[in-house]
Amino acid sequence: MACAALVVGTTSCSGDKPESDGSPSTSASTSTSGTPAASNSSSGPEETLPDLTAAQVVAAFTGKQYKCSTDEAYETCSSGLRSVQVLIGTHPRPPVISLQAAGPATESTTRLAEFAPEALELAHVNPRGQIVDWLKQQSGKASAQTTFGDWNVEFSTEADSEAPGTILTLTDKLCKANCGAE
């Protein structure tokens, strides 16, 4: 709540960067640059949450009884058929957050859409409501890309593999170094 009080007087804890608004995107983009009308969320304007480090994001998932383990450059936290991968490192927030749901495309897309609100809130992703609304519109699609705030967002399905499922990957546009697994 201390951050909410700070947001009124300053934007230092929100993670929003003015230079990212209106910048051209190289992928198909949804027009969502900060306009409340762009969100179909019925809950109204959402609280902007402060950025968390990768370790803090993992701790949030651990606190919700997810089982977490390190796999090379990622910390993977899972519960049942749902998981989140967080790129670990010393960034002010994780450069990559990947939500995954296992199963056939239709089932896993529904499972991912149900998982995303909690996962994005635990990871303090802003604007999470707009991302969730967009994700719900991807049902039946094999893949899609867009940009929300400082995040490049990619949806994809893995139907023809040994481990079918759907994936929602968020990549921080502001990250300049060590922004992906090598």
Beta bridge pairs of residue 170: 97, 153
Whole-model pTM: value is 0.76
Helices 105-122 and 128-136: angle between axes, nearest 10 degrees: 180
- Residue 144 pairs with which residues in a beta bridge? 155
Instruction: Answer for the pair 28, 145: CB distance below 8 angstroms, yes or no.
Output: yes
Q: What is the pLDDT along the chain (182 residues), one digit of tens a residue?
A: 333 333 333 333 333 333 333 333 333 333 333 333 333 344 568 999 999 999 999 999 999 999 999 988 999 999 999 999 999 999 999 999 999 999 999 999 999 999 999 999 999 999 999 999 999 999 999 999 999 999 999 999 998 888 899 999 999 999 999 898 65
